[in-house]
Amino acid sequence: MTDVCRWDVPGRVNLIGEHLDYNGGPVLPMAIDRTVTVKARARDDGQVNVWSDLPGAAKASFPTTVQPGEVDGWATYAAGTIWALAERGHTVTGADLVLESRLPPGSGLSSSAATTCGIASALDDLFGLGLDRTTIALVGQHAESGFVGAPVGLMDQIAVLEGTAGHAVLIDTSETPHLTRPVELEWEEDGLVLVVIATGAHHSLADGEYAARREECERAAEELGLEWLAQAGLDATVRLEDETLKARTRHVLTETARVRGAVNAISRRAWPQLGTILTASHASLRDDFQVSCPELDVAVEAALEAGALGARMTGGGFGGSAIALTAPEQVQALRERVEARYLAHQWSRPEVMVVHAADGAHQVPN
């Protein structure tokens, strides 16, 4: 491709604050040093062509007037971005797009947000759309919710756009626009690393379960007379009658407290305390929010057995990845323990990788 614009956009790990971004709670994601690369070239014929290095992906083509339901599979994220830009009144005359990913497919590390925000950033450059990062985040969110059908919050888009090396991003999702501030992560200076265990289990936010959890939280907030469920008081679970809504609310309440505790522990470099918080978060997601799965539970258990200070699933759940905070010299033992447990269950081998907090989306000079 000639006259090509290239953007590298990281995936993200959410350290703590799962399923709080649509409940008005705080979240603490970090961009990671695994990226989606978007290469884009302008066209003027109203046509969009997309190529991807995803396994089994073939070239996809659609017009710039594409509408929901007209594209399916992996290309929905590209088509959704074109559609979302048009919905906001931005004109794209056509494009050739090449997508290259260093994120394991379906790993729950926000390859979707990296893809949509990367395409929007590249098209902004090519066509001079004048988009700021908040608008790019909103375009990415609208692509997923309005076109793909996954009613996501804004956490992932903000994380992949605003991440900085060595820091997480604390996001207050109750404010519009969301308030953010960097939180320095110093565990590597203290001899620890963050490990991602990509389970290989199916992960999709568009298959109904994610939307069901969101709807349950909205019902609970409505019954409690609240704008956001994260605003609930300690008596909330007593005031609710439905046991499912009680459990969902209990997770939101306790996870909100865990985010605040995690930020405090990080500021004091109290890593064992942070590990305990991570593990407690997983138990809440497994039992009260019911978004874990056997592969995630086994990954967490194996990581703890191998000496990790703490471990939890990360992302929307129903598959995807787990994270663990551990010493570098324990990574190989952790990998072997997880692989052995998976082999015993006759599951596919997981991918175990050390990740580092990285910068957000950025253009790469040609």
Per-residue pLDDT band for 275 (boundaries 50, 70, 90) equals very high
Q: Is 34 exposed, middle or buried (0-12, 13-18, 19+ CB in 10 A)?
A: buried
CB 209 within 8 A of CB 151: no
Q: Which CATH class is domain 5-183?
A: alpha beta
- What does each C-alpha distance from 329 to 61, 274, 325 come to in angstroms? 47, 19, 12
pLDDT for 336 beyond 70: yes
Q: Where are the beta strands (DSSP E) in the chain?
A: 5-16, 26-42, 47-52, 60-63, 95-101, 167-172, 179-184, 193-198, 310-314, 321-326, 351-355, 362-364
Q: pLDDT (tens digit, 9 = 90+) per residue, 149-195?
A: 988 889 999 999 999 999 999 999 998 888 999 999 999 999 999 99
Whether 297 is a known active-site residue: answer no
The per-residue pLDDT of the chain, averaged, comes to: 95
Q: pLDDT (tens digit, 9 = 90+) per residue, 96-150?
A: 999 999 998 778 899 999 999 999 999 999 999 999 999 999 999 999 999 999 8
Using left for φ > 0, alpha for ψ between -120 and 50, and beta otherwise, residue 143 falls in alpha
pTM: 0.94
Which of 177, 165, 103 has its CA nearest to residue 133?
Answer: 177
In this predicted structure, what is the pLDDT of residue 164? Answer: 97
Rounded to 10°, the helix 76-87/133-142 angle is: 120
The one catalytic residue in 156, 190, 297, 359 is: 156
Per-residue DSSP letter, 329: G
Residue % of the chain over a pLDDT of 90: 89
In this predicted structure, what is the pLDDT of residue 205? Answer: 59
Q: pLDDT (tens digit, 9 = 90+) per residue, 299-327?
A: 999 999 999 999 999 998 999 999 999 99
Q: pLDDT (tens digit, 9 = 90+) per residue, 239-274?
A: 999 999 999 999 999 999 999 999 999 999 999 999
Residue % of the chain over a pLDDT of 70: 98
Mean pLDDT of the region 30-52 = 97
Residue extents of the structural domains in the chain: 5-183, 185-355
pLDDT for 1 beyond 50: no
Least confident of 62-71, 205-214, 339-348: 205-214
In this predicted structure, what is the pLDDT of residue 358? Answer: 98
Q: Which fold has domain 185-355?
A: Alpha-Beta Plaits (3.30.70)
Per-residue pLDDT band for 54 (boundaries 50, 70, 90) equals confident
